[in-house]
């Protein structure tokens, strides 16, 4: 029996995860679902965004279904206690180094995308983001602060950017393997013209390419990549990049799909254990209103079935059900056409369950 740690988190996290859980239960599989607190909710109840009990559950699980963390009301907390530290802590503790962020523009949503329909019709990009290195985890992470975490009159702050050869090699191999299964084309995004870290990145990716002669490799500076994503996004197939650049580019790519509410993600370690979450945040401004789009979370659950639980047929069923719902012109507010009547979070989940059953 597969054990899934369910960590809803903050804001709309509880609402969207509930719909993904609804889909998992509708599959009729013998999953063991265990829930735990994380993020701001965990801080309120346990005094820490990633309690030991939650981390223990995550370590023991075959996969983690994650909602979202964060709320403006926690911005005054010292950084180590802010909700966002929970997801960073899980990535580091479980060595979740490879982040898969697909950006697919469904035919029914081409009009909802930010670009002209002819630019995004048929779009299918996979961004492979390295997750445990780069400036987010660089050591030392130095800053002059007061005990409460504030800058308190300090005159500088800095974070170091670093990557090791093994870190770059393993994410490059994951990306090349993914490209082999798709269009056999990989774009490595860097800033080698300015940053030594990314000249090193470019050199190592080029070396790894020798083991994948069947995959075409090109290199692109991150500023150019950001421009090309809105100028000619279909020129890309698989993109591999570092932690910070991947964070930014994947959110940009989300708007090519019609809404960030459509963008799932998977974060994997070398054992195939993964954390699955929507690419959007906790959206505290709409939390509790029942209007959030659960499709990114539902599609993340499908990725969980495919990559960590070895159930690709069930993943296909969920993805097909989402396509059927979109074909029925059912829309949450973020993907609804102007003047249309959107449905709510739970209604969308129910619609996908119905499409799954049919």
Active site residues: 136, 191, 223, 247, 251
Spatial neighbors of 137 by CB under 8 A, at least 6 apart, are 88, 92, 243
**Using CA atoms, how far apart are residues 126 and 114, in angstroms rounded to an integer?**
19
| Contact between 50 and 90 (Cβ < 8 Å) | yes
The H or E element that residue 351 is part of is: helix 345-357
Helix 84-93 / helix 52-60 crossing angle, nearest 10 deg: 40
**Using CA atoms, how far apart are residues 31 and 25, in angstroms rounded to an integer?**
8
| Contact between 238 and 182 (Cβ < 8 Å) | yes
DSSP for 44-57, written as a single string: HHHSSSS-HHHHHH
């Amino acid at each position: 029996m597969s054990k899934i740690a369910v960590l809803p988190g903050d804001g709309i996290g509880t609402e969207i995860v509930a719909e993904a859980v609804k889909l998992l239960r509708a599959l009729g599989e013998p999953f063991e679902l265990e829930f735990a607190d994380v993020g701001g909710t965990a801080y309120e109840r346990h005094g820490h965004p990633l309690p030991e009990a939650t981390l223990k559950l995550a370590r023991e699980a075959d996969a983690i279904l994650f909602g979202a963390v964060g709320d403006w009301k926690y911005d005054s907390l010292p950084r180590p206690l802010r909700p966002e530290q929970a997801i960073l802590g899980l990535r580091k503790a479980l060595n979740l180094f490879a982040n898969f962020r697909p950006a697919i523009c469904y035919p029914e949503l081409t009009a909802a995308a930010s670009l002209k329909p002819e630019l995004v019709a048929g779009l299918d990009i996979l961004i492979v983001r390295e997750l445990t290195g780069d400036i987010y985890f660089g050591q030392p992470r130095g800053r002059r602060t007061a005990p409460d975490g504030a800058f308190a009159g300090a005159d500088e702050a800095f974070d170091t950017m670093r990557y090791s050869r093994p870190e770059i090699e393993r994410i490059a191999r994951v990306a090349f393997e993914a490209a082999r299964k798709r269009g056999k084309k990989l774009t490595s995004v860097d800033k080698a013209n300015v940053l030594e870290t990314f000249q090193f990145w470019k050199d190592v990716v080029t070396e790894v390419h020798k083991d994948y002669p069947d995959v075409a490799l090109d290199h692109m500076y991150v500023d150019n990549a950001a421009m090309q994503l809105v100028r000619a996004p279909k020129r890309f197939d698989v993109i591999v990049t570092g932690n910070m650049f991947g964070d930014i580019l994947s959110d940009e790519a989300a708007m090519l799909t019609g809404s960030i509410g459509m963008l799932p993600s998977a974060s994997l370690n070398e054992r195939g254990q993964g954390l699955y979450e929507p690419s959007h945040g906790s959206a505290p401004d709409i939390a509790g209103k029942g209007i959030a789009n659960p499709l990114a979370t539902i599609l993340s659950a499908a990725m969980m079935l495919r990559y960590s639980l070895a159930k690709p047929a069930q993943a296909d069923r969920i993805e097909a059900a989402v396509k059927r719902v979109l074909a029925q012109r059912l829309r949450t507010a973020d993907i609804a056409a102007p003047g249309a009547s959107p449905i709510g979070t739970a209604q969308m989940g129910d619609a996908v369950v119905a499409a799954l059953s049919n």
